[in-house]
Amino acid sequence: MALIVTLRALGLGDLLAGIPALRAVRAAFPGDRHVLAAPAALEPLALLSGAVDAVTDTAELAPLAPGLHHAGLLVNLHGSGPQSHRIALGTRPQRLIAFAHPDVPQTAFAPRWRNREHERERWCRLLRESGIPADPAHLSLRPPDADPPARAVGATVVHPGAASPARRWPAERFARLARVEREHGRDVVVTGSAEERPLAEAVARQAGLPPGAVLAGRTDLITLAAAVAAAGCVVSGDTGVAHLAVAFGTPSLTLFGPVAPAEWGPPPSGRHRVLWRGRRGDPHGSEVDPGLYAIDADEALLELNRVS
């Protein structure tokens, strides 16, 4: 049994966008041991995909653990290089699948990186051009075994947080949306990390939601996933929770700002809708992206009503 290592030491949305590629690698080498080099916090969802046998805790662009050295195959789904390529080659795998980079001679004849390619398609194309069939549509997850919070079942999940301010729609607009949903008789919960709890509480307070509606800081990743899987719909910015909704088939509205949905959005579907002003920006910016700010609450409410 050979060791197959895949490097994707990034965040939640990155993991979920990489699921089709991970599954393709598993299908190509079904009898081998598949280990994902990624943050340990993502292990429950990675295992839920059925694509890997284990996760080895790996920080972004950190050296890989000794147990991942000398793999029969190492697949770099982390980036275009050169740093991630050098980290991968430092483990001396028998074979490396990665995009070509001019500073890494070992990749000279590898597939070429394309800017503005959809993330799911990018990594599936890397595999296809390396001789491994891959389909970006293979992204669904089964719901986790964990029980969802009772309030989340059938509710509208409002997720106001994001990794950077550039991708955070104003809290008062999330609150307006949540308030209207509640007025229409729909239960609403507000999710987020422990660090995002003050933001979630502010949204709930402005929306007139009861304190128990704030789930931020009260769920681990797998319980959050269960909440999204059980929800009636999800409203969020361009963040990991939006990818969870797509993976579980939960109707969703995603508000895009500096990043184009053509690169990170859901597959075309009435079940998953997006709003975007059509201009790219800095996804790591310290202020809300102007395009995201230009989306008002009334427009979002109208689009949410179109989610099927």
Question: What's the pLDDT at 230?
Answer: 98
C-alpha dihedral (270, 122, 79, 28), degrees to nearest 10: 110
Whole-angstrom distance, CA of residue 229 vs CA of residue 48: 13
Question: What's the pLDDT at 308?
Answer: 66
116 and 187 housed in the same domain: no
CATH number, domain with residue 13: 3.40.50.2000
Whole-angstrom distance, CA of residue 204 vs CA of residue 275: 23
SS3 242: helix
111 and 181 housed in the same domain: no
Question: What's the pLDDT at 141?
Answer: 96
Domain count across the chain: 2
Whole-angstrom distance, CA of residue 56 vs CA of residue 61: 14
Is residue 12 domain-resident? yes
273 and 191 housed in the same domain: yes
Is residue 113 domain-resident? yes
Is residue 140 domain-resident? no
7 and 89 housed in the same domain: yes
130 φ, ψ to 5°?
-105, 10
Q: Is 29 in contact with 4 (CB distance < 8 Å)?
A: yes
Question: What's the pLDDT at 269?
Answer: 86
Positions of the chain with pLDDT under 50:
none
Q: Which domain holds residue 48?
A: 3-128
